Structures are given as C-alpha cells and as structure tokens.
Structure 1
Amino acid sequence: MDDITRQALATACGVLAAVFIALLMGLQEPYWAALSVMIIANVDREALFTKGVLRVGGTLIGVLGGYYVGQWAEGFDAMQIVLVAIAAAVGTYGRQRSAYGYAWFYGALTFMLVLLYTMTQPDQLYAFAHYRCYEIVIGVVCGTLASWALGPNAGELHARLKAQAAATSAPNAERQSLIAGLGAFTIVVIWSLFDLPQLPQVLISSLIVVDSDPLATRHRGAQRIFGCIIGGTAGLVVILVDATHLWWWAVMLFLGVFSFARIHLRKSAEAYIGTQSAIAYLVTLVGAGPPVSLYPPVDRLIGIVIGVSIMTVLVWALNPPKLAGRSA
C-alpha cells in the first residue's frame, strides 16, 4: 500500500473516531472534530503534527480572546464588525508571514467566530466557546493518533514542530490582509442587511481561499466552489438513499473521506478539489448524528459558495492584473 493510500485510510479512521467521540460527549457541532482531522491530514508526519499543535494552540487563544472581547463589545454592533475585520486582516498577514502562520490564521478565525456569537446568539456564547475547544482537540488527537498507528511509517513518532518560510513579501501580505479585512467587513454587513444563511460558513470559506498569490486565490476559489458541489452532492445522495440508518451513514462517511483524502494528499493541481470535496462532504453528512433533514446541510453549502464568491470578486477587483502576473 502506498503512502497516500495509507494516510487516506488513517484519515478516514480518524474522522470516524472523532465524530463518534464527539457524539458520545454530546458536543454541539461534531463536524468540527471531523474537519480538524481532515485539515491536518498530511503524508509528512512532522507537517501533520505541526498543523495539529498550531490548530489547537490557535483555537485556544482565539476562544479565550473572543470570549472576553465579545462580552466587552456585546451590544456595539459597529465595534464588533470592525473587530472581526481587524482579526481577519491580522490572521491573514500572520498566515503569510509567520513561521507558524497556521496558528495565527486559526487563532484569528476562532476569535472571529466566537465574536460573531455575541452578535447572533449572545446567550449561547459560553457554550459555543466551551464546545469548540473540545471539538478541535478531539479532532486533532484522533487525526494524529490514527496517522501514527495506520499512516506511513506507522509506529514512528514525529513530535517536532516544523517551521515554514514566509509565503510572500511583506508588502504583498499587507495588501492581501487588507483585502481579507475588507472582505470580512463586507460579508458581515451584507449578512446583517440580507439575513444570509450560515454566517460562520460564509466567513470561513471566504478567508481560507485568500492566498499570497492573487492568481492562486482565483484558482482556489474556483476549486473550492467545484469541490463544494462535488462533496455536497455526494453527501446529499447519501442522505437521500437512507438518511437515518446509522451503519449506512458510518460506512459512507468512511468511504467518502477515504476517497476524497486520496485526492487531497496528492501533490497535484487538483489536490485542493479533494480538500474542499471532503470538507463539503463532512459538513453535509455530520450533524448531531445522521442527518434528519436536508435544510441544515444545504444552508451550510450555500454559505460556503457565498463566502468564496464574495472574496474572489474582491481579490479580482483589488489586485491589479500586473501585480497578479508578477506574483504567479
């Protein structure tokens, strides 16, 4: 069995374990545990371990910061929107310039999500912050242990952080961070005016596609929408065949993640389609157990498409063609 297949198998096992642990613990959104397994998946053990540690660290810092700042800013809508925009800009800059950019990005992202709860569901702020920590930690632990047990070079521990070089120059990172901040500001304002579905999914999807290379952002945006359609459609088909049967749901969850993870783990131009297909598949299939309605997963999928579309348009509009050409 080649390394990619072994890691895809480990990823599928990790996702299944994380989902069932989260369900047994009664956590609010088990799909966050599943997403954490998928997002840190990597054939390189050191890269997987690094992403896991930085994801947990960034999440804890973001939760704490968002919780206390959110309480302080509760009721001041304009201030909350500005804080969300600043966090988006800082997280994007840190992601592109820091040796541990993953922690900066997910710290800022979690901060924003917790802060948004003070705008939408302030009475559930503590529960959201509390459960989010558990969901992310469970996903990272399950993904790491599954890789160590079943992935390439099984049994070998690689518990070292792997620093990364800056992805781009400081001026370009500043430009992309300003676009990310403006995009986050625009999305929250549009959401408040038109009552868009699934604001967290809209915001997450928009920021993930912002790349240090403007041309890559356009490419990733198109791949994200395409992958969303593939993964979301596959998930909806599974639901339509038999939405409530636990064994059918679990088996198809495993097979779907395994298949999409094999694409995600390849070093190819289409790898990101596999990443997004897996994310959309998980978001569609994983709720508080097997889905009983099509409405929540469809809402989440709509949120992903809206977020990517808004941010992609801003990147096209605010990155001059000459700059995009030089960044390629």
Structure 2
Amino acid sequence: MSGAAARAISALRQELLEIDLAGSRSHHCNRVALAVTLAVAVALVLRVDAPWWAAISAFVSTQVTAPASLRRGALRIIGTAISAAAGLLLSPWLIEDQVALSLALFVASSIGVLGLQVSLHGYAWLLGAVTCDMVLLATLDDPTSALSVACNRTAEVTIGTLAAILVSHLLSPREDHAPPRPQAPGWSDLLGAQWASTQHAMRAGLGVMLVPLAWSWLQLPSFSQAAITVAAVMAVPVLSDDDAANRESITARGTHRILGCLIGGLAGLAVLVVSFENFLPWLAALAIGVWIGAHVQASARDIGYVGTQGAVVFIMTMVQGSGPPSSIIPGIERLAGITGGLLIVQIVAILLAPSAARVAAR
C-alpha cells in the first residue's frame, strides 16, 4: 500500500504544478465549482437535512459535456429514489433484528456492486445499494428515522443533480466526444463466465454486512459512512479471474480513498482556522477547494479518485448546517468511518483470499 500511496502523491504533485487557469480543463473545473455552490445555496434555502449531500451530488454529476451530465444525473436520481423506497419498505421488518438487517445489507450491497460490473446502468445500481444501506443503517440509531432519511437523501440528491444538469446545459459543450462505452455483459451466466464478478460482489456484500456487527462491538460512530466505504472500495470492475490483480485494484482504490480523505480533511481544517462569519467568503473558499478537487479528478495519471474523495471530504467539512461551519466533528467522524470500512475490506480480502494450492493450480 505504501508504494501505491507514494506513486499517488508524486502524481498529485505533478497535477497541482500543472494547473492552468486558461485551459479547457479549467473551464470544466469552473462548471463543477459553480454547480456545487448553486446546490449548496438552494439546499440551504430549502433547509434540507444534509446540504453537503446535495453538494456532493452536484460534484459527481457534473461531467465534461452536457449529455454526459444528463445521463449521469438521471442514473443518480433514479437509483437513489428507487433504492430509498426499497429501504423504506424493508425497514419495518428489520427493526431490532440485527441478523435480518445484516442479511439485507449483504443482499443489497452484493446486487449493487454486481450491477456496476454487468449492467449498462451500473452507476444507478451502485448508488441504489449505497442509498439502501444508508436507510437501513439509520434504523440502528433511530428505528423511526427510515422515512426521514429516505425522503431527505432523495431530495438532497435531486437538488444537487439538477444543479449539475442546469449548469452543464447552460455552459458545457453539447457534443459528446467521449469514446463509446463498452458493451455491458448483462446479467446472464453469473455462475459461469461471470463467476469472478459474482464472487467479487459477494465479498463486497459480506464487508457491508459486517459493519453493524463491528460497529456495535467497538461502539464507533458513522455506521453509514463505513458501509459506503466498503461498497465504494469494492466497486472495482473485475475483468478476469486473476484474484491477485483484483486484490491489487481494491488495495489501490482503498489507498486513494484514504489519501484523498486525509488531504481533503486537512485542507478543510486549514480553512476552518479562518473564522468565517460572512456567507460569501465561506462560499468562495468552498468553491476553490472544489475546483482543485475537480482538477485532480480529471487527471490522466490514474489518481482521479484521490481528487474525488478529497473534494467529498472537503465539502463535508465545509458544509455542515445552515451556514459557515462551527465544528470539525463531521469530518472526524467521516475519517473514522472510512478507516473502519477499509479495515473491514482488508479483513474480508485476507479471509477470502485463494489458497496457495488454488493459485498454483491456475
């Protein structure tokens, strides 16, 4: 993991040195920052429960072209809404039954990660799994919160996604020059030719299933963040039966996630040293951090996920309530959740690693 971190830090340094405010890449970063600030402003006016979730939705939904943003946004809204409803319907049957809840988390997460790999609309499947996990895990702290969490997450995602689509429609190129997307293999032959993808998804589901058990035993905060971490880190397309290569991909993604988290968290803490009392300076500081995260996310050096995660944590640190933040606790809790999720991923990977005999046979 140290080698992956060193390579990522070196590439990140090069990306920051190559920032060009006049290039086409900077125009995209401008659109991302504008979409995020618009989403935050609307979310604060509407007084939603978690305005940072609207900001994150705007960040990840703003693509290089308008058609790409529309596709991404539509998948995000549809996946979130359907899975929020599913989690809400399931929650009454799972309250105070931790075994049943863990099994539901396993099924939802496995299906979501598998859908990411085999479906043409994989992003919607993954977002669906994450949202369903959040709704179900919310019942651990408050059994009556499922309806509130489902409605709030859907509203926040919709606000942020619509902000991204609006900005993209007005300012992004209309031509979609991206290469054609690879044909998805579909849901057929999951126990045959696509068995590697099925195994991979089940490992992800097992990791999420262990979250409530581990967190209740250790009495740690941020249930939902740990589950999101496991699903996101395990969401690496499995292209072959090479277990070693698959584990390397998962390890690299986990390294980039924790590195981005640390960078975004430290940047947020550095900004919080300045006591923001006015809305506009705070919003400007948020936009600058998001701009840098978008620049790294667009990197061709295979460190885009560092920029994504850094921007997400920076947003969660900066956007906490109805105005400029007054506490660093949300950022600390997110870091704790991510660290716990990564540990769960590594434990699952070690326990389910192929034996030496199987590797030799291959």
Using the size of structure 1 for normalisation, the TM-score is 0.90
Instruction: Name which of 184, 188, 197 aligns with 1:166.
Output: 184
Instruction: Name which of 94, 105, 111 aligns with 1:84.
Output: 105
- In structure 2, how many angstroms separate the alpha carbons of the residues matched to 1:320 and 1:264? 33
2:205 equivalent to 1:184: no
Matches within 5 A, 1:141-160: 141-151=162-172, 153=173, 156=174
- In structure 2, how many angstroms separate the alpha carbons of the residues matched to 1:49 and 1:309? 35
Task: Please name the residue that 2:49 is paired with.
Answer: 28
Task: Please name the residue that 2:352 is paired with.
Answer: 318
- In structure 1, how many angstroms separate the alpha carbons of the residues matched to 2:118 and 2:24? 30
Using the size of structure 2 for normalisation, the TM-score is 0.82
- In structure 2, how many angstroms separate the alpha carbons of the residues matched to 1:275 and 1:132? 20
2:231 equivalent to 1:200: no
2:10 equivalent to 1:10: no
2:268 equivalent to 1:235: yes
- In structure 1, how many angstroms separate the alpha carbons of the residues matched to 2:184 and 2:350? 23
Partner SS for 1:62: helix
2:342 equivalent to 1:308: yes
2:250 is aligned with what amino acid? T
1:301 is aligned with what amino acid? L
Matches within 5 A, 1:1-328: 1-151=22-172, 153=173, 156=174, 164-166=182-184, 170-210=194-234, 211-213=236-238, 214=246, 215-288=248-321, 289-320=323-354
- In structure 1, how many angstroms separate the alpha carbons of the residues matched to 2:185 and 2:347? 22
- In structure 1, how many angstroms separate the alpha carbons of the residues matched to 2:199 and 2:226? 21
CA contact (8 A) 1:88 1:181 kept: yes
CA contact (8 A) 1:167 1:212 kept: no
* Between 312-321 and 246-255, the greater mean CA deviation after superposition: 312-321
Partner SS for 1:292: coil
Shift of 1:184: 0.7
- In structure 1, how many angstroms separate the alpha carbons of the residues matched to 2:26 and 2:185? 29
- In structure 2, how many angstroms separate the alpha carbons of the residues matched to 1:315 and 1:167? 25
Partner SS for 1:99: coil
For the aligned residue pairs, the C-alpha RMSD in angstroms reads 2.1
1:18 is aligned with what amino acid? A
Change in CA separation of 1:308 and 1:41 when aligned onto 2, cut-off 3 Å: farther
Shift of 1:71: 1.7
Per-residue CA deviation, residues 110-157 of structure 1 (Å, 9 max, x unaligned), is: 111111122221222222111111100011110111122233x2xx38
| Percent of residue pairs bearing the same amino acid type | 31
Structure with greater Cα Rg: 2
CA contact (8 A) 1:238 1:249 kept: no
1:190 is aligned with what amino acid? A
Change in CA separation of 1:65 and 1:273 when aligned onto 2, cut-off 3 Å: same
- In structure 1, how many angstroms separate the alpha carbons of the residues matched to 2:25 and 2:355? 37
CA contact (8 A) 1:87 1:112 kept: yes
Task: Please name the residue that 2:8 is paired with.
Answer: none
Stretches of structure 2 lacking an aligned partner (at least 5 in a row): 1-21, 187-192, 239-245
Partner SS for 2:327: coil
CA contact (8 A) 1:242 1:248 kept: no
* Between 244-253 and 173-182, the greater mean CA deviation after superposition: 244-253
- In structure 2, how many angstroms separate the alpha carbons of the residues matched to 1:221 and 1:167? 26
Shift of 1:296: 2.4
- In structure 2, how many angstroms separate the alpha carbons of the residues matched to 1:106 and 1:77? 23
Stretches of structure 1 lacking an aligned partner (at least 5 in a row): none
1:277 is aligned with what amino acid? G
